[in-house]
Amino acid sequence: MGSSFGVLFRITTFGESHGPGLGVVVDGCPPRLTLDVAHIQAELDRRRPGQSRLVSQRKEADRVEILSGVLDGVTLGTPIALVIRNEDARSRDFEEVARAYRPSHADYTYDAKYGIRAVAGGGRASARETAARVAGGAIAQQLLRSSGVEIVAWVDEVAGIAATVDPDVVTRADVDRNDIRCPDEAVAAAMIERVEEARKAGDSVGGVVRVVARGVPAGWGEPVFDKLDADLAKAMMSIPAVKGVEVGSGFAGTRMAGSEHNDLFYRKDDGSIGTRSNRSGGIQGGISNGAPVTMRIAFKPTATIMRPQDTVDPDGNPTVLAPRGRHDPCVLPRAVPIVEAMAALVLADHHLRQRALRPPSVRPGP
């Protein structure tokens, strides 16, 4: 259970880290969308391990294959199935792991839940699962792009080192310019140095990814439970290693007075209604207001470190987990396309939901 996401634009993912393969079924993509497969592959490449020395060195080509739902490069309106084969499945690395619960991983909780666990590579709990999200999210992004919505995420903070980035203008080209995926070049250098330090120390660091969605028209999101920000929060919190989510002003906003925090409405030059500030993060009452949708997502330091750690085996016997295998001292750069994918999945779903219920007499924008 729990491997589907979305109401109308709905994905279902599958796959263990070291099984035959993983993939995603996208049900609810409208027909007659020209699908750019190279873009899907490019997004997967941005998530893939082994891109730089900052991230895990696992070798996976992550070649995506489309099994259904597309004909001559155009969507049919039927489910689109994407499959990625696993290749580098060095399960010998995981023998010891089978006996010891890795701290702050999901080994113990999977055993408690299922009474069985695919030990190699963390099975379904592996971050490898996110490749399926990225593939599905790439299709969502293409749908959104045809409606004028653009999503950009970047690494905003690493181990407390914070960047300054303007969400209104930052581009993906800016983000991908360096290995850490932080468009503030000076800060990026400091971040990379910090990650290198952690790697040498056999340790890991965490950080914050920020994401903006520009061009979202006013009116997306449902009141009460399926608020746009609520669905975005779920989407982000479901990404492995995420421990916090902020929309707009977030926790900092709790220290402001209402008179400072409120976004005052005004008439923009083009005659439309806008707000002078965007502490709401583009969402008011759970519904988009036309301003950029902005979020910050907290990633804990990677749980896998190259140091011995005290733990227990499944029988509760104390043991020491020796460092072994591959190590990703900072997941942040690879998290960027995952965050973009999850944002796109939520927005595409709410785009279609609004299409279904929009009254005829409201302008056909959203």
Q: Which is nearer to a copy of itself, 124 or 169 (CB)?
A: 124
Among 125, 139, 155, 335, binds a copy of itself (CB under 8 A): 125
Q: Which is nearer to a copy of itself, 142 or 249 (CB)?
A: 249
Q: Which is nearer to a copy of itself, 16 or 60 (CB)?
A: 16
Work out the number of other CB atoms within 10 angstroms of the CB of residue 203. Answer: 15
Can you tell me which residue has the tokens 């190590």?
327
335 binds a copy of itself (CB under 8 A): no
Among 35, 40, 64, 80, binds a copy of itself (CB under 8 A): 80
109 binds a copy of itself (CB under 8 A): yes
Write each residue from 197 to 226 as x if it is in contact with a copy of itself (CB under 8 A), else as -, in one continuous string.
Answer: -x----xxxxxx--------xxxxxxxxxx
167 binds a copy of itself (CB under 8 A): no
66 binds a copy of itself (CB under 8 A): yes
CA distance 143 to 138: 9
Is 228:287 a contact under the CB 8 Å cutoff? yes
Among 37, 51, 52, 76, binds a copy of itself (CB under 8 A): 76
Nearest to 188 by CA among 204, 197, 177, 199: 177
The region of 24-32, 49-57, 172-180, 183-191 touching a copy of itself under the rule CB under 8 A is 24-32
237 binds a copy of itself (CB under 8 A): yes
Taking CA 150 as the corner, what is the angle to CA 148 and CA 152, rounded to the nearest 5 degrees? 175
Nearest to 206 by CA among 330, 35, 79: 330
Q: Which is nearer to a copy of itself, 173 or 266 (CB)?
A: 266
The region of 5-13, 134-142, 165-173, 179-187 touching a copy of itself under the rule CB under 8 A is 5-13
The region of 39-47, 48-56, 168-176, 348-356 touching a copy of itself under the rule CB under 8 A is 348-356
322 binds a copy of itself (CB under 8 A): no
Q: Which is nearer to a copy of itself, 169 or 251 (CB)?
A: 251
43 binds a copy of itself (CB under 8 A): no
Tally the residues of the chain. Answer: 366
Among 163, 247, 341, 344, binds a copy of itself (CB under 8 A): 247
Among 232, 336, 343, 348, binds a copy of itself (CB under 8 A): 232
What's the Cα-to-Cα distance from 328 to each of 43, 80, 136, rounded to whole Å?
19, 32, 24
255 binds a copy of itself (CB under 8 A): yes
108 binds a copy of itself (CB under 8 A): yes
Nearest to 172 by CA among 139, 208, 212: 212
In the bound complex, what is the minimum distance in angstroms from residue 290's beta carbon to a copy of itself?
A: 7
In the bound complex, what is the minimum distance in angstroms from residue 140's beta carbon to a copy of itself?
A: 14
CB < 8 Å & 24+ apart, contacts of 277-284: 278/248, 279/248, 279/249, 279/253, 280/247, 280/248, 280/249, 281/229, 281/247, 281/248, 281/249, 281/250, 282/213, 282/216, 282/248, 283/221, 283/227, 283/228, 283/229, 283/247, 283/248
SS3 135: helix
Work out the number of other CB atoms within 10 angstroms of the CB of residue 238. Answer: 13
Among 37, 45, 61, 79, binds a copy of itself (CB under 8 A): 79
The region of 45-53, 163-171, 182-190, 315-323 touching a copy of itself under the rule CB under 8 A is 315-323
Written as six digits, the tokens of 114 are 């299922």
49 binds a copy of itself (CB under 8 A): no
56 binds a copy of itself (CB under 8 A): no
300 binds a copy of itself (CB under 8 A): yes
37 binds a copy of itself (CB under 8 A): no
CA distance 332 to 350: 27
Please name the helix (run of DSSP H) or strand (run of DSSP E) that holds residue 65, with its range, or none: strand 64-66
Work out the number of other CB atoms within 10 angstroms of the CB of residue 1. Answer: 3
Rounded to 10 degrees, what is the CA torsion of 283, 43, 154, 348?
A: 0
Q: Which is nearer to a copy of itself, 171 or 317 (CB)?
A: 317
